Amino acid sequence: MFTGIIEEIGSIEEFSRLSNGAKIKIKCNTVLNDIKIGDSISINGCCQTVTSYGKDYFTADVSYETLKVTNFSEMKSGYKVNLERALTPSSRMGGHIVQGHIDCTAKLMKIEKLSDFYNLSFEIKTEYTKYIVKKGSIAINGCSLTVADVNCCIFNVAVIPHTYLNTTLSNLKLNDTVNIETDILGRYIEKLLSRNNNTDTINENFLIENGFM
């Protein structure tokens, strides 16, 4: 589990495609502190397991499924990625609950530089729009962000300068693909509301019974 607060920008040193997946080697520093084989590290929001490491790198095995649903398929040597170590019991929850399980990808449609922040617009697949709500949380390439607005398949996020300049968001260009993880709370709510073939009535008693009040 992660928070979506990026610790470091890493650089892909090697990306080797295999018949059933890929191997990735990432050059980095901060996330290597206290690292051990088997640890989880979020790479562009995707939870990956450390298979080996050295003083300035770690490696991971990328599954075929990950290549299908993420922007890993576009990666190559020199590609910059957002990195975050998994939560520990003493970690501050600075962002939101990020599992590291990518739902889909989205395409950057617009970058707008405003006086004190950046406004980014993304286009997402129709089936995932139901999980995106104004003022709700979303993870983009592993960054915990707040949805500023949503209109059909287009959603906007307002990004403060610190986040923009200290993550790979600043490297994005129009039509670039990003990894998306929607808020897991929305999925749990959907599951609750869809039980019994949608015959439940949503009222105060229902909300109290299911822990929403």
Residue 124, class by beta-carbon neighbours within 10 Å (0-12 exposed, 13-18 middle, 19+ buried)?
buried
For 80-136, how does the pLDDT look when each residue is reduced to its tens digit (9 = 90+)? 999 999 987 766 667 788 889 999 999 999 999 988 899 999 999 999 998 898 998
Domains for the chain: give ranges and CATH numbers. 8-85 (2.40.30.20), 104-189 (2.40.30.20)
Q: Which helix (H) or strand (E) holds 67?
A: helix 64-69
By the 8 A CB rule, do 138 and 180 touch?
Answer: yes
pTM, 2 dp: 0.84
